[in-house]
Amino acid sequence: MNTNLKSLKPEALWRHFETLTQIPRPSRKEARIIDVVKKFGESLGLETIVDEVGNVIIKKPATKGMEDRKGVVLQGHLDMVPQANSDKDFNFETDPIQAYIDGEWVTADGTTLGADNGMGVAAAMAVLESKELVHGPIEALFTIDEETGMTGAFGLKPGLLDGEILLNLDSEDEGELYIGCAGGINATSRLKYKAVPAPEDCEAYKITISGLKGGHSGIDIPLYRGNANKIMFRLMRKAAIDYGLRIAEMEGGSLRNAIPREATAVVTIAKSKKADFENFVRDFEKTLQNEYATADPGLKITLTGADMPKEVMNEQAQRSFVNAINACPNGVVRMSSDMEGLVETSTNLAVVTVKNGTAEALSLLRSSVDSSKIALCEVVESVFDLAGAETNLDGDYPGWKPNPNSAILKEMKEVYKNKFGKIPEIKAIHAGLECGLLGGVYPKFDMISFGPTIRYPHSPDEKVNIESVQKFWDYLVETLRHIPKR
């Protein structure tokens, strides 16, 4: 296993990225990386600010002869999504990422890599450090908690930044420029239920859904991968009707912005129906494997014995909640009528738990059209209202409306054509970039998002293409040389 990332080009970017892999930085646990980046800026003798929420801002003056150029803000987020395979013993708060070179890619051993958004952060650090690059005034904005709540972008105050152009370094397809993104909102539905003694003369089982690819709940949602929560409750609804299944506890998914890869449930079945139930689960697994043969060929449903629980959900609450989960929207809701191939509206049934008298479901709803996002909220609220559950909405953040007449877009298209011989693709992304929030605080920003090619972000299969990193860097360097005058 080749772990020598410093042997890759561009050396400075990969060196900084390797440093980032050694610093635990899951969302809302960024204290160490904030301190490292702060000290990095100070060690360069550059003005370095840590604002009241933890964002780090480092300012670098223009190189000689470039003082009259528009100021550029290089922006990325410090946190990463913590996802590991179930057989991987890993603590994201203490353990370094085990990154290695795998052919044309860099990936990690059984965990997310953190290329999202470590690549952007490392690129900005390399720009700040360089004494050879030609550029106008540079400000690097490193935000916190992008992945779980966009806390850094929400908390950024006016007056801290002077730049007129924002280059967001958090996109995941080299050769594409993003000029818009979806907004999002969290919907948390909660049903309080009365637990009752487990039925007598029953057998207890643990059901495990595993082997799914998961992935980014925005970018990967049009791939129609399996959702472990939806699969689990589809199974449990059928088994409850035919075999008297009762739910003791259940847990599926872990992050609002990751398609859930795994789910487990402890259930009871009447002993008289034990054999029929076991046959049903085996047949159901084959059915689902056939359905997901292309999108999620690794799907597994495992049935093992479990200790008999003392209590289960009461039948009425169980029926209501199971039906609500089955009815809850999940996946692509609508494709854009304005931009071919773009998902307009979607939802991800991200986390579901049943335990200690509370059944809870967390969905992340996304749309590039605010009214569609609100309409989808109303659908989710209606579904769970029928089940007797209350739904709370929070974490609402705006989308970023595309500006096809952007001056920096025109300049960057020309730079890319001159550098690589073709025009980059112009797109909007069905994911929550921070541009919408940052543009609200600094309305003068002319914004573009771009980055190297990253595949399967928010999952343990995350990887970044090595060749694309070099092109991303070369493009960034050339763009900085061609920033227009004020």
* pLDDT tens track for 105-161: 999 999 999 999 999 999 999 999 999 999 999 999 999 999 988 999 999 999 999
User: Is 446 designated active site?
Assistant: no
Across all residues in the chain, what is the average pLDDT?
A: 96
Q: What is the CATH number of the domain that holds 211?
A: 3.30.70.360
E-only strand ranges, 211-286:
246-252, 263-270
Let me know if 11 is a catalytic residue. no
**Alpha-carbon Rg for the chain in angstroms:** 24
- Please check whether residues 229 and 101 belong to one and the same domain: no
Distance linking the first and last C-alpha atoms of the chain = 49
The answer to whether 197 and 268 have CB atoms below 8 angstroms apart is no
406 contacts 180 by C-beta, under 8 angstroms: no
Contact 292, 299 (CB under 8 A): yes
- Which tokens sit at 413? 């298209």
Number of alpha helices (DSSP H) and beta strands (DSSP E) in the chain = 11, 23
Residue among 147, 115, 277 at smallest CA distance from 217: 147
DSSP label at 7? G
For residue 35, what are its two tokens?
A: 């301190």
- Domain of 32 in residue numbering reads as 5-182+399-481
Task: Write down which residue in 375, 397, 419 finishes a domain.
Answer: 397
Q: Are residues 240 and 381 in the same domain?
A: yes
Name the H helices within 101-157. Answer: 115-129, 151-155
Q: Are residues 207 and 94 in the same domain?
A: no
Q: Do 229 and 291 fall into the same domain?
A: yes
Beta strands in 337-429 (DSSP E): 343-355, 358-367, 390-397, 425-429
Q: Which of 18, 30, 79, 446 is catalytic?
A: 79
Question: Distance between CA atoms of 83 and 486, rounded to whole angstroms?
Answer: 44
Nearest by Cα to 351 from 359, 363, 333, 334: 363
CA distance 393 to 415: 43
One-letter identity of residue 328:
C
Interatomic CA distance for residues 420 and 27, integer angstroms: 36
C-alpha distances in Å from residue 370, one per residue of 151, 181, 320: 20, 12, 30
Whether residue 432 is predicted with pLDDT greater than 90 in this model: the reply is no
Q: Is the pLDDT of residue 261 over 90?
A: yes
Pair 265, 176 in one domain: no
Mean per-residue pLDDT, 361-365: 98
pLDDT digits (tens, 9 = 90+) for 370-418: 999 999 999 999 999 999 999 999 999 988 988 989 999 999 999 999 9
Q: Are residues 233 and 201 in the same domain?
A: yes
CB-based contact 194:442 (threshold 8 Å): no
> Active-site residue among 145, 146, 174, 285?
146
pLDDT in tens, 330-347: 999 999 988 889 999 999
Residue 338: its pLDDT value, please? Answer: 82
- Whether 486 is covered by a domain: the verdict is no
Let me know whether 376 and 471 are in one domain.
no
CB 268 within 8 A of CB 371: no
Domain count of the fold of the chain: 2
Residues making up the chain, counted from first to last: 486
Domain limit, last residue, from 397, 425, 449: 397
304 closest CA partner among 183, 443, 208: 208
Q: Any idea what DSSP says for residue 274? A: H
364 and 149 Cβ atoms separated by less than 8 Å = no
Out of 344, 376, 397, pick the residue that ends a domain: 397
Q: What is the phi/psi pair of residue 65, to 5°?
A: 90, -5
Residue 365 shares a structural domain with residue 447 = no
Return the residue matching tokens 């470039």.
Answer: 66
Instruction: Summarize the confidence of residues 82-102 as an average pLDDT.
Output: 96
Cα 271 from Cα 177, distance rounded (Å) = 59
Q: Are residues 352 and 205 in the same domain?
A: yes
Same domain, 126 and 172: yes
370 in a structural domain: yes
Percent of the chain with pLDDT over 70: 100
Q: What is the CATH number of the domain that holds 24?
A: 3.40.630.10
Sorted by sequence, the CB contacts under 8 Å of residue 43 that are 6+ apart come out as: none
The amino acid present at 159, given as its one-letter code, is G
Residue 465 has pLDDT above 90, yes or no: yes
Residues 173 and 256 in one domain: no
